Amino acid sequence: MRKTPISTASAARAGGALLLLAAWMHAQAAACLYRGTDDTARVIGGGVVTTPFPQALSAPECARLRVASGTVDVVVLSADRAAIASRRVSAGGGALVPASGADKGGTSGESPGLLKQILVVLEGDQKKVTGSSRDAGDDFLRNALPVDKLAQPTADLVIVLGPAPDANLHSFELLVGGKPVLRVSGPARSVTLPAAALKAGVHASWRLAYGDGHDEGSFDVVPSERLAELEATLATESDAGGDAKVAKLRIASGLVAQGYNWDARELIRTAVNP
């Protein structure tokens, strides 16, 4: 695959993504992850009704959402791990995130890194079922690929694109030490990075042609022991009073801050899919 500069369309998408992330930063404390306790749960906002069961949903402005029926468990999100908290809201119980709570954290100025990774997890779940994307659009695969750091994996890294081959995928190439170890030509149902090629100490990079854009990224594979040590440290700082979901999200937020986006999503996945 020849080297291709990032396309104008890809740059435009990136610019749009930055504007969206800036909006999330402005409303950081009102962002939340919510899931019904059973299939009677309905959430309404702006005239739109959602069913957050069995799949969890997320929104950047949860102060505008209310429970129409049933009961919903809500996790209020912030890149500041100490501000991540959970609450349960029933019909008539007010906004998923009270306005006072949104105002209190709105001045934190924290980045929306955790929310972005949660969106990637939720989009991945959606693509497995329908192949469609609720929020991430053409940027899903680019955002789902490893960047920055990755703990040495014990199994292949699989990114599912849908139940049917995704025609938007044109090509994908993985290089380790500058040498190609994987080439995928689309359409394809998934992209799989082989664990055998991702040994601790290697520097890997990837090239992606998807839709109208061409993107590139890179990451360093680090010993799994280093990740385990970081998780242990974060766990001691993430006491959530017995709330396992909140504790996992606080640890995941710390991993994102250290560049372990892929590994953070493994924790997020177990938190949003109990």
Out of 108, 136, 159, a domain closes at 108
CA dist 145 → 10, 107, 189 (Å): 16, 31, 15
Task: State which H helix or E strand residue 104 sits in.
Answer: helix 99-105
- Is 267 found in the same domain as 133? yes
- Is 256 found in the same domain as 185? yes
d(C-alpha 114, C-alpha 255), whole Å? 9
- Is 194 found in the same domain as 149? yes
- Is 161 found in the same domain as 92? no
- Is 217 found in the same domain as 103? no
Q: Write out the residue range of the structural domain in which residue 132 sits.
A: 1-26+109-274
Q: In a structure prediction context, what are the per-residue pLDDT tens digits for the chain, which is 274 residues long?
A: 333 443 434 444 433 433 343 343 344 447 888 989 999 999 999 889 999 988 888 888 888 999 999 999 998 876 555 567 788 999 999 999 887 655 444 333 334 688 888 889 988 888 887 765 544 445 889 999 999 999 999 999 999 998 999 999 999 999 999 999 999 998 999 999 999 999 999 999 999 999 988 999 999 999 999 999 999 999 988 775 667 888 888 899 899 999 999 999 999 998 887 6
- Is 158 found in the same domain as 71? no
Position 188 scores a pLDDT of: 95
- Is 243 found in the same domain as 157? yes
- Is 257 found in the same domain as 123? yes
d(C-alpha 116, C-alpha 190), whole Å? 21
Task: State which H helix or E strand residue 206 sits in.
Answer: strand 203-210
- Is 46 found in the same domain as 16? no
List, in order, residues 6 or more apart from 19 with CB less than 8 Å away.
none
- Is 84 found in the same domain as 73? yes
List, in order, residues 6 or more apart from 113 with CB less than 8 Å away.
79, 253, 256, 257
Count of domains forming the chain: 2
Out of 82, 108, 134, a domain closes at 108
- Is 144 found in the same domain as 73? no
Out of 57, 86, 108, a domain closes at 108
Position 79 scores a pLDDT of: 54
- Is 156 found in the same domain as 43? no
